[in-house]
Amino acid sequence: MVNRDELVVKSLGPCRVESPMLHLLKPRERSYYNVDPADRVLFDDTASALARRGSSPDDIPGFEPAGPRPEIYFDPSKTHAGIVTCGGLCPGFNDVIRALVMELHFLYGVRRISGFCNGYQGFIPKYKRPVVDLTPQSVSQINEAGGTILGTSRGEQNAGEIVDCLERMGVNVLFVVGGDGTLRGAQAISREVEARGRKIAVVGIPKTIDNDICFIDQSFGFQTAFSVAADSIHSAHAEAKASPNGIGLVKLMGRHSGFIACYAALARNDANFVLIPEVPFRLDGENGFLAALRRRVQRSGHAVVVVAEGAGQELMESATGADASGNAKLGDVGVFLRKRITEDFAAANLELNLKYIDPSYSIRSVKANSFDAVYCLRLAHNAVHAAMAGRTEVVVSRWHGRFVLLPIPLAVRDRHTVDPNGDLWMSVLESTGQPAAFG
């Protein structure tokens, strides 16, 4: 399709001028997201392409492609599918539910589809959650609303009890829509099924508004989320500019990963400072954040600060405990920064008009935008294909733009975070003009 030489880029001549960006480039180490310029991105990233070229790709890691198979494992007319949605709200839940049902019903002819309510609680007798029959009729309009028609909850439940329920109801195929903790739960369910010698496929559709699941290009709902977040930053900008020494401070989602903060800050270019968990910062001192902020306000009259909720945790007296999902409780960095900025300006005897915006609930509850709607649909289709072909303990993913199948253990092994050496963070530094490090 294309040969090597065609991909060679012309150059006017050797580069002998030191880049004015060198101060930003020097501290960057090579990484997956910061490739050596002398390296190359493969045109065709499949193992077969390598083999055709004479390379031996046998021991090179590669994903199983997703997609429909000519022969499948389950007999559709005897298949009972279950769907459950878990964790915090995220744009696209209903799109996924809808597409699962439509695909199972119309493409495969599966007629029994049960929706379990309020996450894993829906399988446990003591919670008394209803089970809902899902039909094309009942789901046809649900993608026009945010939230999830099945409800959700946080927290794990006993895998044994869940498999008891699946067995009692004769569910063969279980679709689990959720994040890190939820997928660990799905893995436990799958292992329990295996231990009992049952044939129940457990397939995940990865959900994380923070975009923090590994080995996934981007999680569904993420684009919708950062788009709404960008509007909040725009509001903060309008507020900041309207008042003398105005500061707009926006706290966004991102417990461990600052993707929403980064993308939202890039979207409308209103932010002057972006603080994320992956890049620690100091508050005090001449090169600290507070001094940089103060200088910016004195120079320009206003500033906009975007902070991901997981940023700066090391600066606060540590919060303790965990929520029902097992997530460590975070200190509220937004409230903390508001206090510290206020004190800092007071100490410098400077007027301050700080407006603090925390839009999280308004972001995660909107319906999916058009891109995410398409993406949810295609993830769901591929989840159905995988399940009907008997794949289990697996989540559907998109990697390099291709839909692939990802073993759950790998998906939950680590977190996807913003690479401080990568091109996204470089874009943030370029766009905001903030220093590469505070302190």
Neighbours of 401 (CB within 10 A): 7
Is there binding between residue 227 and a copy of itself (CB under 8 A)? yes
**Marked catalytic residue, from 44, 59, 164, 210:** 210
Applying the rule CB under 8 A, the residues between 398 and 417 that interact with a copy of itself are 399-407, 409-410, 413
197 known member of a binding site? no
Pull the structure tokens for residue 98: 């809808």
**Residue with smaller CB distance to a copy of itself, 283 or 302:** 302
Positions 339 through 378 that interact with a copy of itself (CB under 8 A): 355-359, 361-362, 365-366, 369-371, 373-374, 377-378
Q: Is 257 in the site for a copy of itself (CB under 8 A)?
A: no
Part in contact with a copy of itself (CB under 8 A); list of ranges 161-169, 235-243, 280-288, 325-333: 235-243
State the Cα–Cα distance between residues 336 and 346, nearest whole angstrom.
Answer: 15
How many Cβ atoms are within 10 Å of 373's Cβ, its own excluded? 20
95 catalytically annotated: no
DSSP 3-state of 98: helix
User: Quick one: which of 152, 159, 89, 93 has its CA closest to 124?
Assistant: 159
59 binds a copy of itself (CB under 8 A): yes
- Maximum pairwise Cα distance, the chain: 75
Asked whether residue 268 is marked as a ligand-binding residue, the answer is no
Q: Is 332 in the site for a copy of itself (CB under 8 A)?
A: no
Q: Kindly state the helix (H) or strand (E) to which residue 231 belongs, with its residue range.
A: helix 222-242
The CA–CA distances, whole Å, from 291 to 119, 240, 282, 332, 402 equal 46, 18, 10, 21, 45
Q: How far apart are CA 258 and CA 252, in angstroms?
A: 9
Does residue 137 bind a copy of itself (CB under 8 A)? no
Residue 197 is a binding residue for a copy of itself (CB under 8 A): no
Residues 8-47 that bind a copy of itself (CB under 8 A): 8-22, 24-26, 32, 34-37, 39-47
Where in 95-124 is the site for a copy of itself (CB under 8 A)? 98, 102-103, 106-109, 118, 121
- Asked whether the beta carbons of 206 and 213 are under 8 A apart, the reply is yes
Sequence ranges of the binding site:
88, 154-155, 179-182, 208-210, 253-255, 309, 361-364
